[in-house]
Amino acid sequence: MNSLSLTLFDCVVLVTLLGLAWQLLATPDLFKAMVLFMSFGLVMALAWVRLAAPDVALAEAALGAGLTGPLFLSALHRLRGTRKGERRQQLDSIEHRGKIEKVTQRTSGRIIYLLLRILFAGLLLTLLVHLATILLHVEYENPGLGVFVAEQQEESGVISPVTAVLLNFRGYDTLLEIMVLFVAVVAVWSLATVRFSEKSGQVSPIQQGVVRILAPLMILVAVSLIWQGTHLAGGAFQGGAVLAAAGVLMMVSELPWLRLIPSLPVRLMLVFGPLVFLGLGVSCLADGRFLEYPGELAGFLILLIELACGLSIGLTLACLFVGGRPVDDLVDRGQLEEGS
Amino acid sequence: MPTVSASFWMVLPVVLPLAGGLLCFLWRQRSLWLPLAFALVNLIVVIRLTRLLLIQGPLHYQIGGWETPLGIVLVLDGPALLMLLLTALCGAGVTCYARGYFAYRISAQKQPGRHERQERFFWPLWLMLLAALNGLFLSGDIFNIYVTLELLSISAVALAALSGKPVAQLASFRYLLASLLGSLSYLLGIFFIYRSHGVLDLGLLRAVVEPGSSMTAGLVLMSCGLLLKSAAFPLHFWLPPAHANALAPVSAILSGLVIKGSLYLLFRFWFDTFASLISPAALNVIGMLGILAVFWGGILALLQQRLKLLVAYSTVSQVGYFLIAFPLAYHDATLSVWTAFLFMILAHGCAKVAMFMAAGTMYLHSGHDRMRDLHGIRLVMPLTVFAYGMAGVNLMGLPPSGGFVGKWLLLTGAFDDGQWWWSVAIMAGGLLAAAYVFRVMSPLFQAPVGASIFDGRPTPALLEWPPLVLSLIALLLGLFAPGIMALLTANGGAVISGGLP
Amino acid sequence: MTVLFAYKLGGLCLFFMGFTALILRSHPLKKIMAVNVMAAGVFLLFIAMACHGRVGVAIDPVPQAMVLTGIVVSVSVTALALVLACRIQETSGGAGSSEGEHPPQGDS
Amino acid sequence: MREVLDLTGIVLIVCGLPFFLSGSLGLLRFPDIFTRLHALTKADNVGLGLIVLGLICQAGSLFEALRLLMVWLLVLIASSASCHLIARSALEKNIKPWMRS
Amino acid sequence: MNGSGWLLVLIMLSSFVPGIIIFGLPEDRVRLRTTLNLCGSLIKIGLIVVLNVGIYLGYSYEIRLPLVAGMEVYLHADPLSALFTTLSSVLWLLTTIYAVGYLEDSPNRSHFFGYFSLCVTVTIGIALAGNLITFILFYEMLTLSTYPLIVHRGTPQSLRAGRNYLVYTLGGGALFFLAAAWLQVLTGPMDFGSDGFASHLVVEHGPLLSLLFVLLIAGVGVKAALVPLHGWLPQAMIAPAPVSALLHAVAVVKAGAFGIVRIVLDVYGLENMIVLGLLPLLTFVATLTILWGSFRALQQDDLKRRLAFSTISQISYIGLGISLADHRLALIGGLVHLVHQGIMKITLFFCAGNLAETLGVHRISEMRGIARRMPWTMGAFTVGALGMIGLPPTAGFVSKWFLGLGALSASNWVVVAVLMLSSLLNAAYFLPILITAWFDRPVGPWPDEKNFGRFETRLMLLCPPLLTAAVVLLIGVLAEAQISPLAWVRFIVEGYLP
């Protein structure tokens, strides 16, 4: 009975996932697609829970749904803000829409286009079926690396196996991954300057009040998630995401002091986590190997790294959401002169 | 203790540029000499590693001290070291050139602030890219390779968009999507491989790999991703606009180094790790794609009006050559084909970097790169034109360049196997390359007609010498062959060392 | 076992749905979303593999760690892609850019 | 004691479910944004409250019970605030409330 | 006995190093540049004298640099290469002197002389190449280093000529490269002078080897201007006169002809050539080229164009001699023509350059009575032209005499006829020039006359042709002397046909 209902639940989750994905990809309405995308992320988190991956579920809820959704929304807002008149065409030209339309005006063109689509769909379907049959028929009895993780868990200094893998056994991957985040921020900064909406005075007092209550709470949650990472689900990424969410909330509510944060402290904080990780890794070189934590200190060092990285990750994600460098960062000289 | 010291040197090519990138971002005022120092130190480290390799043979290094099935291993063997060497050399060249490039533009004072900003963001991104490349070549773990690939492509995209032109941004957006698609395909491939054997380490994989549909599916997916990332023929659509519209040092990096990363991986997977899965049919398909790429890229390069686009299309064409090496390697997956492949990669890397740098200098001076209107530029910057020509010799595969050695080895390989038809394509491609190289040289040699509007300032040494030196290295690469062979055979004869025994 | 297979199949379907949309949709935001859906599909495959459903065998944390890495990477790439898309819109529109940047010209 | 708690829990949860159902129905069937908000928040708050209470009956420790309660409280705050914001932006966009017509 | 291989390297460096230095010199350092050039070529000639003596005494000079498996750079001096080296370096000295005078006021001289030195270095490399790979190495580099010289003026015409040159030579180079790679796979790495490959291959791969021979000859034939592949040469006469001299006498065409000799004698070997029956093919192409070149030369009014077509025809005498190589006398005639043709043709081009530079005369129709204005130049021209026709006592007579004897001893009447016909044709296109220059009265002013004081033209322009004309007469008269090209060629032939 129990397993049957769970199976049913799984099926519902899966069907919802696929349906949502189909809808969000098919709908022409961008806003609807965003909303569907966020719900897609949440259902995804449910699926992770069902698949016994609480760490991933937390990360998905915080990052995949919690942060990516607002990212999309703010991007849409930004696009719509500049999207007036003839500029509307710029983005559509990415796919040479016009050409296709011209081709499809003729009957022969339309038929060929249709045939191409059928061919494409057929190809993909064949591929899908092929891969699925491989998954169904070719089964392997290898236990994966779980056995090794379990064997060496005690040496890793932490209790949670996922954290052990992330920060100790395969800490090098994680180091590079944090660098990916960092590069993303540098890239975003190189592209644009931050901007705030003009109507800061109109933020609802209720919103501000709620944010004032929620933000400290969220920071608390974030820290606890990071700390909890050593023995339960959680860790730097999840905690950082919650931290970022707090930041995003504050920014959306246009708290006045946020505009004034200068570039240098932000840069310091951004670099802090990666630098601590890298530095601790290198300091291990002194009497061992790169990223080889001395046995008794391993747990402490991992917690230290998680804290430092969690802070930086939070700030990184918030910066990604803001979508530009701080206003005082490398201003055009010409612009300054115009201003003065 | 020798092992500690060896391991110490092995992580440095990754750690140093990472630290450099972080510091350059943090500490902007010093970012003028900081990257230069890091690039040079990187070169020194790699040279030191070369010595270690020659003395000790291939090196393996477990990060964090964890044994292989679980931990990540760095592997340094002949091919990896050569790639590191290429990266370090070109990296040092590009770093010098970029400094000169930005200094020249900043001093022009046309758009105040703009070029300073570009430079400040260029350094951290470039150092991160360098770290990613080094990590990629050293890595012995398929998932770690995925992470380095991501780091590589995200910093490459950011660099490509740096110029701020809408065209460049559009191109880099496409580049981003293409490389994301490639990464995801690669990741899906990892899934199929991990589920078959439960290991990620390349050396262990090579030991356990056996023909089976799951493994094959994984390899195919991974290869598709890598082919997309290296702009193999039908998947090359993103490359020319992205490479041609970026800033000159960035174009050099993208064309000379970045696509080499995925190409190298592809070759390594097919002929080392998963060699037992490869069938002749698959190799022939790849070879056919290569031929198509050679011709398609070459013909399109001939049709271009802009210098940088021409050079970008020539990259498409050259990638074809690397793919032609695949079918020829099948019967003889040993020394000679690895040598041919690596020679071509090294030669093309240096030559393409030099070529884009030279093209960039011409652009700086004339404010455009329409080939018709570049006549007489030889008198203004003879060294740059000379560098361009020498790099072109490499692409044509004329002696004594590295391209010549590679082509010779490919040709003899083709005749050895009795697959002489590839040779026709190889030669025809060389002629096409000659055609498009001299299509540029011809106007450059033309006597100036009327008053040409060149920027009157003298070309700084930093803009002239790096391309010249790199192109000369590429040109004389053939003569360094004994040294390169010594590196390749440092393992006592076998080229590849793979993972831990 | 069958449920896990269903999840894997779902993952594959998501991957291919995303791929189709990536090719066919023209709007950049849609393309970015499609990539995210593809990524979700791959992650689903990994996690379903880790949770092999055999009694007495520990759940494999390595794929979970890989997926965590993947999620973080995909978030950062998504953010970059979104900003890039916005910038394309803004710079190609000429005026109204957030930086008051000079119209780009003669820039290689 | 155990059975009593279990039973209470089940009853509470079963009581909570109709609220969710009606809330969802309202979301789907109500004519305009304000009425939909009304249905959604009202029903969900009570429904969630009942379900949380039901779960508290199952909770192993006081700490866990407190945490569950916190969930409810936070959702209350968040949903009321977001409801307020949605309504506000609807008003700003001059969306007229539905009148029986 | 072994001489040091470093001598060969030194010979190459003696022109390479000045070349590199000259590239870096500023435009106005004329004197330093000239000094460097002359010193380089004098040192080179000195070294080559040492080399020749050494070879004559039986020393062997070689140096190897293995690159990758089956690929090594191998420099090796044998009598044949010594012949070519000597020719090129002596003519280089003269051409350099001439070029200094010719380009006195033109721009971009640093580049010009830099590339010029590179060209000669590479030509010496071709001469000293000891295996096919090394030959290819320098052969392709020759293409590259001559291109800037051809397009030196930068006019649209010269750019077009340069493009044509590249199309022909790079195409030929590709064929050559292909065939060489294939041949190496069949025969294994093979040094020159080893009497060709093992004869059992001929049995196994006869048709393939014939095909490869055709490809190889096509590859070198482009530079040697064999008939269907000669199109670039008349166009390239647009380049300055010293470059024409270089192309026709010192480097390019000669390298092609030298390549034919190497392929026949050293790659395939005479025995294999006879077994494969490929010699008649070469004879056919050579005769065709001789006749076609002469016919076309008849129709030209532009002096340098006529000389270019004459080169096409004359160079094939070498090929003709080689194609009858199983007969000693013909081989001697062919090889000695390599030298004789070079000296005679360079004389003619020097003179043509003088006419153009001093009087602006480019066309034969403008040459009426020109000998009265420039008697010395025209005297030298006359000697060269008579040599080309093959009249005694010039050098041309010697080579034609041996060729004719060879053809007779081979009883190849077609060749005999062709030789006679071509001599007639040569006379037909050279004699009118001489007649109009010496015996017509000048009409009106010269197109673009410059006055150079005491002499009819610059001294540096005048001396080289006079010198070469004297040499043409000398080696004709003293052909049987101890030290003469003929004697050296006999020495070479002893190696091949003992």
Q: What is the DSSP string of E417-441?
A: HHHHHHHHHHHHHHHHHHHHHHHSP
* Chains D+B touching (3+ CB pairs under 8 Å): no
Q: Given a cut of 90, is residue B55 above it in pLDDT?
A: no
Q: Is the dihedral of CA B422, B425, B426, B427 positive or negative?
A: positive
- Chain C residue closest to A38 (CA)? C33
Shared domain check, E332 and E209 = no
Residue E344, domain member (yes or no): yes
Any idea which residue has 């020249």 for tokens?
B104
pLDDT band at C56 (very low <50, low <70, confident <90, very high): low
Kindly write down the DSSP assignment for every residue of A284-311, as one continuous string.
GGGGS-TT---GGGHHHHHHHHHHHHHH
Residues E34-39: what's their mean pLDDT?
90
Residue E75 and residue E201 in one domain: yes
Q: Would you kindly state where each structural domain of chain A is located, as residue ranges? A: 1-52, 96-136, 160-328
Q: Residue E215: which of E229, E204, E203 has the closest Cα?
A: E229
How many angstroms separate the CA atoms of B96 and B101, rounded? 9
Which of residues B145 and A96 earns the better pLDDT score? B145
State what percent of residues in chain B have pLDDT above 90. Answer: 47
| pLDDT (0 to 100) of residue E293 | 92
**H helix or E strand, kind and range, residue B61:** strand B59-62
Residue pair E293/E319 in contact by the 8 Å Cβ criterion: no
Residue C98 has pLDDT above 50, yes or no: no
At E316, list the tokens.
């094939």
Among B437, C107, A61, A69, which residue's Cα sits nearest to residue E166? Answer: B437
Q: What's residue E369's pLDDT?
A: 85
* D101 confidence band (pLDDT: 50, 70, 90): low
Interface of B with A in 8-67 (CB under 8 A): 8, 11, 15, 18-19, 21-23, 25-26, 28, 61-66
Is pLDDT at E72 greater than 70 in this prediction?
yes
Chain A residues with CB inside 8 Å of C37's CB? 21, 24-25, 40
Chain A contact for B204 (CB, 8 A cutoff):
no
Please state, in angstroms and rounded to a whole number, the distance separating the CA atoms of residues B437 and B310. Answer: 9
What pLDDT shows up at residue B492?
Answer: 53
Query: Nearest-CA distance from A209 to chain D in Å?
Result: 9
Within-domain flag for E271 = no
CA distance E267 to E258: 12
ipTM: 0.89
Q: How many structural domains comprise chain E?
A: 2
Task: Report whether pLDDT(B276) > 80.
Answer: yes
C-beta of residue E312 within 8 angstroms of C-beta of residue E225 = yes
Query: What local confidence, expressed as pLDDT, does residue B465 receive?
Result: 92
Residue-wise pLDDT tens digits, E273-322? 888 888 889 999 999 999 999 999 988 888 888 999 999 999 999 998 98
pLDDT value for B330: 65
Using the beta-carbon criterion (under 8 Å), do C91 and B143 form an inter-chain contact?
A: no
Span E80-103, mean pLDDT? 90
Three-state SS annotation for C19-63: HHHHHHCCCHHHHHHHHHHHHHHHHHHHHHHHCCCCCCCCCCHHH
Q: Which residue has the higher pLDDT, B7 or B389?
A: B389
Residues B234-258 have a mean pLDDT of 93
Task: Indicate the residue among E233, E263, E293 that finishes a domain.
Answer: E263
Residue E66 has pLDDT above 90, yes or no: no
The continuous run of DSSP H or E covering E72 comes out as strand E71-77
Per-residue b or e along E124-139, where b marks 16 or more CB atoms closer than 10 Å to that residue's CB: bbbbbbbbbbbbbbbb
Q: Does D17 lie at the interface with A, CB-CB under 8 angstroms?
A: no
Contact D84 A213 (CB under 8 A): no
Q: Identify the pLDDT of residue E127.
A: 92
Do B166 and C76 count as a contact with CB atoms less than 8 A apart? Answer: no
pLDDT at A330: 64
Closest CA to E336 of E184, E195, E486: E486
Q: Please check whether residue B136 is in contact with residue B75, taking contact to mean a CB–CB distance below 8 angstroms.
A: no
D54-61: long-range contacts at Cβ-Cβ below 8 A with a sequence spacing of 24 or more? Answer: D54/D8, D54/D9, D54/D10, D54/D11, D54/D12, D54/D13, D54/D16, D55/D9, D55/D13, D56/D9, D57/D5, D57/D6, D57/D8, D57/D9, D57/D12, D58/D5, D58/D6, D58/D9
Residue D42's pLDDT is: 78
Give the Å distances, CA to CA, from B421 to B284, B291, B310, B394, C67.
Answer: 12, 11, 27, 23, 46
Domains and CATH numbers, chain C: 2-92 (1.10.287.3510)
- Mean of the pLDDT values across residues A187-216? 79
CA distance C3 to chain B (A): 17
The band of A93, judged by pLDDT with boundaries at 50, 70 and 90, is very low
Helix E200-224 vs helix E279-299: crossing angle, to nearest 10: 10
Place of tokens 């760690």: C65
Return the number of other C-beta atoms located less than 10 Å from residue E484's C-beta. Answer: 20
Least confident of A207-211, A237-241, B126-130, E200-204: E200-204
Average pLDDT of the residues in E254-266: 91
Greater confidence (D43 vs A101) lies with D43
Q: Examine the domain organization and report whether E379 and E427 are in the same domain.
A: yes
- Measured between beta carbons, the chain E residues lying within 8 angstroms of B404 are 137, 140
Percent of chain B with pLDDT over 70: 93
pLDDT at B308: 92
Give the span between the Cα atoms of E413 and A306, in whole angstroms.
Answer: 97
> What is the phi/psi pair of residue B73, to 5°?
-115, 135
Whether residue B212 has pLDDT greater than 90: no
Identify residue E457 by its one-letter amino acid code: T
| CA E485 to chain CA mean position, Å | 15
* Contact at CB, B411 and E67, closer than 8 angstroms: no
Average pLDDT over residues A289-304: 85
Q: Can you tell me the mean pLDDT for B337-346?
A: 84
Domain hosting E307: range is: 278-498
pLDDT number for residue E470: 92
Nearest CA in chain C to B249: C108
Residue B403 pLDDT greater than 90, yes or no: no
Q: Please write the tens of the pLDDT for every residue from D6-17.
A: 899 889 999 989
Residue E427 has pLDDT above 60, yes or no: yes
pLDDT digits (tens, 9 = 90+) for A142-171: 777 888 888 888 888 888 888 888 888 899
Residue B32 CB-density burial (10 A; 0-12 exposed, 13-18 middle, 19+ buried): middle
pLDDT value, residue A86: 41
- A227 pLDDT higher than 60: yes
Which three-class secondary structure state does DSSP give residue B60? Answer: strand
Q: Tell me the shortest Cα–Cα distance from E66 to chain B, in angstroms.
A: 7
pLDDT of res. D36: 86
Its sign, for the CA torsion E464, E470, E472, E475, is: negative
Residues E231 and E245: their CA atoms lie apart, in Å, by 18
Per-residue pLDDT, B491: 60
What's the CA gap between A17 and A38, in Å, rounded?
Answer: 11
Measured CA to CA, the distance from residue C17 to residue C38 in angstroms comes to 7
Of the candidates B221, E166, D21, E320, the residue with the CA atom closest to the CA atom of residue A128:
B221
pLDDT tops 90 at residue B15: yes
Q: Is the pLDDT of residue A99 over 80?
A: no
E18, E164: one domain = yes
* A41-83 pLDDT, tens digit each: 999 999 998 888 888 999 988 887 788 988 998 888 888 765 4
Using a 10 angstrom Cβ sphere, with 0-12 exposed, 13-18 middle and 19 or more buried, the burial of residue E424 is: exposed
Q: Which amino acid is present at E288?
A: L
- Chain B, window 296-315: residues with a beta carbon less than 8 angstroms from a chain A beta carbon: none
* Virtual torsion, Cα E134, E137, E141, E142, nearest 10 deg: 40
Cα B13 to Cα B29: distance, rounded to the nearest angstrom:
24
Q: Where exactly are the structural domains of chain B?
A: 323-496
Cα–Cα distance for residue pair E167/E157, rounded to 1 Å:
15
Mean of the per-residue pLDDT values of chain E: 88
Reported confidence tier of residue E195, pLDDT bands at 50, 70, 90? confident
Q: Which two tokens stand for residue B83?
A: 């790639």
Residue E470 lies in a domain: yes
Please name the chains neighbouring E, where neighbouring means 3+ C-beta pairs under 8 angstroms.
Answer: B
Q: What is the mean pLDDT of residues E72-93?
A: 90
What whole-number distance in Å separates Cα of residue C1 and Cα of residue D45? 38
Say if E78 falls within a structural domain: yes
pLDDT value at residue C106: 36
Instruction: Please report the DSSP string for A64-132 in residue order.
Output: IITTHHHHHHHHHHHHHHH--GGGHHHHHGGGTHHHHHHHHHSHHHHHHHHHHHHHHHHHHHHHHHHHH
- Look at residue C108 in the predicted model and tell me its pLDDT: 37
- Of the partner residues A204, A214, A217, the one whose CB lies closest to the CB of residue D84: A204
pLDDT tens readout for residues E138-171: 999 999 899 988 888 888 888 889 999 999 999 9
Spell out which chain B residues touch chain E, with contact meaning CB-CB distance below 8 angstroms: 335-336, 339, 375-376, 379, 382, 393, 396, 398-400, 404-405, 407-409, 411-412, 415-416, 420, 423-424, 427-428, 430-431, 434, 438, 441-442, 445-447, 478-479, 481-482, 485
Number of residues written out for chain E: 498
